[in-house]
Amino acid sequence: MFSKNDLIVVPVLDRHHRLIGRITADRVIEVAEEEAAEDLYTMAGTDPDELDRFSALHAARVRMTWLLPCLLGTSVTALVMMFFKNNDPLIYVAAAAFVPMIAAISGNAGLQTSAIVVSGLATGRLAAVKFSQVCTREVRIALLVALSCGVIGGLACAALLDAKPGESSVEPARLVFAFAAAMFSAIMVATTLGLLLPFLFRRIGIDPAISSGPLVTTANDSISVAIYMMLTLFLAG
């Protein structure tokens, strides 16, 4: 309201419309800076508490509070990989080589979406917008991004794949198609989570910035890898 109308001060009225105080622009700026800093720390997986002390041990403890759950989350990803180890070894090894690409691209795509939504909610640009409108816009963007990354990723997979026809039980073209389809699917799931979680957290009273934090991005990685391995082994196996 202050920014839109170039206000310096606004009056505060009671239920009988009597003046009981005022809010000045400098106070609004101060609160906005505090909220922006808090969101930034939350998205980075820490909090302002570590700046209150100069102790390296204290700062490490604060950061490990977030990193330990992430460590457990990445263990889930390892379990997902181990679950598929009994399938065709050649397909499994070829598929495993591209797991970092799937996890990184889908995770970053989801992070981009959640960052945009969190920023919009924090500034008020999306607070008054219907969820259906935001969803329609972001889904269209996600489809274009997922399709582009699926095609480019498939071409990269084709260029990097060493398997030749006749040397394994799977044709390289089938693995490339499976990789492209998995890349598309993983990005769509990650961006959907990046869109839905900020609104969900806001609805239940949790800071939406948490949806861009390490815990959620780690969960995105595990989900995307599971989707990738299932699709790859199903389509190429």
Give tens-digit pLDDT for 146-174: 899 888 888 887 887 654 444 444 567 77
- pLDDT at position 52, please? 67
Spell out the domain ranges in the chain.
Answer: 2-44, 66-236
Q: Which amino acid is present at 77?
A: T
Q: What is the pLDDT of residue 144?
A: 92
Flag whether pLDDT at 189 surpasses 90: no
Binning pLDDT at 50, 70 and 90, where does residue 22 land?
very high
CB within 8 Å of 235: residues ≥ 6 apart: 174, 177, 178, 181
Q: What's the pLDDT at 85?
A: 74
Give the whole-angstrom CA distance, residue 11 versus residue 33.
22
Query: What is the C-alpha R_g of the chain?
Result: 23
- Strand partners for 22: 11
Check: CATH 1.10.357.20 for 66-236?
yes
- Condensed to tens digits (0 to 9), the pLDDT of residues 191-236 reads 888 888 888 888 888 777 776 677 677 777 788 888 888 887 777 6
How far apart CA 9 and CA 2 sit, in angstroms, is 8
Over residues 1-20, the mean pLDDT reads: 88
Distance separating alpha carbons of residues 52 and 8, to the nearest angstrom: 32
Q: What is the pLDDT of residues 81-111, one digit of tens each?
A: 787 777 667 777 777 878 888 888 888 888 8
3-state secondary structure of 24: strand
Whether the per-residue pLDDT at 12 is higher than 90: the answer is yes
Q: Which secondary-structure segment (H or E) carries 231?
A: helix 214-236
CA torsion through residues 148, 151, 157, 159, sign: negative
**More confident of the two residues 23 and 222:** 23
Q: What is the mean pLDDT of the chain?
A: 78
